[in-house]
Amino acid sequence: MLIRIDPTLSMPLFEQLATSIRASIIDGRLSVGERLLPARQLAEALDINVHTVLRAYQILREEGLLDMRPGRGAIVAGRIGQHAALAGAIHDLVDEAKLRNISESALLSLIREAYK
């Protein structure tokens, strides 16, 4: 699993991390039952605070995507199957935006406006 975080973005690091993991679960790169890295180990790998990782894991637990138990760590609890088509459409949208040289920030602005 490739996790991308960018400390220069205005989005908080925990939110970036949760978004990255959520996307991996939705598009099937992470399978149900798969164990994620322990929070401390992931924090060290990403050079971020362990509480940042724990906050991201907590958000995903509240969404029903992770199961967290002491001693077992974080395990993928469910896949949002109904979003598989949406994940594909999003990848197509991003590819199209890249073909048209639309910047990431411009694309995100368009999506935010459409979501309203």
The pLDDT score that the predictor gives to residue 81 is 58
DSSP codes joined into one string, 52-114: HHHHHHHHHHHTTSEEEETTTEEEE----GGGHHHHHHHHHHHHHHHHTT--HHHHHHHHHHH
Sole residue written with tokens 């699993």 = 1
> For 54-75, how does the pLDDT look when each residue is reduced to its tens digit (9 = 90+)?
999 999 999 889 998 877 789 9
Looking at residue 90, what is its pLDDT?
84
CATH 1.10.10.10, applies to 1-78? yes
Q: Comparing C-alpha atoms, which of 98, 80, 97 is closest to residue 27? A: 80
Which stretches of the chain score pLDDT less than 70? 1, 79-84
Q: Where are the domains of the chain?
A: 1-78, 81-115
d(CA 9, CA 25): 23
How far apart (Å, rounded) are the C-alpha atoms in residues 83 and 44?
31
pTM score > 0.85 for this model? no
